[in-house]
Amino acid sequence: MTLEVGDAPGRSPTRGSTRYGARPLRRFIAYEVATRMSRALLAGEVHEGAVIRIEPVEGELAVTYENPKCERPAA
C-alpha cells in the first residue's frame, strides 16, 4: 500500500492550537486517520497495492483509496 497526504490549506485539523505542540495533531492522526484506514482494511475494501489518500474536502478530512486494477492472465 501507498499513503499519499494532500496539502491542507487553511487551518490545522486540530483547529490551529499550538499550545500543546504536536500532541493534538498526533491524537488527531491516531484517531481519525488510523481508525478510518483500519475500518476499510478490516472490511476488505482495501486490497494489496492500494493507494490511500488523505486530503481535506470541504473543511473535513477525507480518507479515500484506489485499489489496483486486476489484470487477468491471458488464456
* Domain boundaries of the chain, sorted by first residue: 2-66
pLDDT at 43: 92
| Of residues 73, 3, 7, the one with CA closest to residue 33 | 3
Task: Name the pLDDT band for 16 (thresholds 50, 70, 90).
Answer: low
Q: Is the pLDDT of residue 69 over 70?
A: yes
* Contact of 11 with 60, CB cutoff 8 Å: no
pLDDT at 4: 82
Q: What is the torsion angle, in degrees rounded to the nearest 10, for the CA atoms of residue 63, residue 28, residue 58 and residue 9?
A: -110
pLDDT at 65: 86
Task: Name the pLDDT band for 8 (thresholds 50, 70, 90).
Answer: low
How far, in Å, CA of 34 to CA of 26, rounded? 11
Does domain 2-66 fall into CATH 1.10.8.60?
yes
pLDDT mean over 1-17 = 64
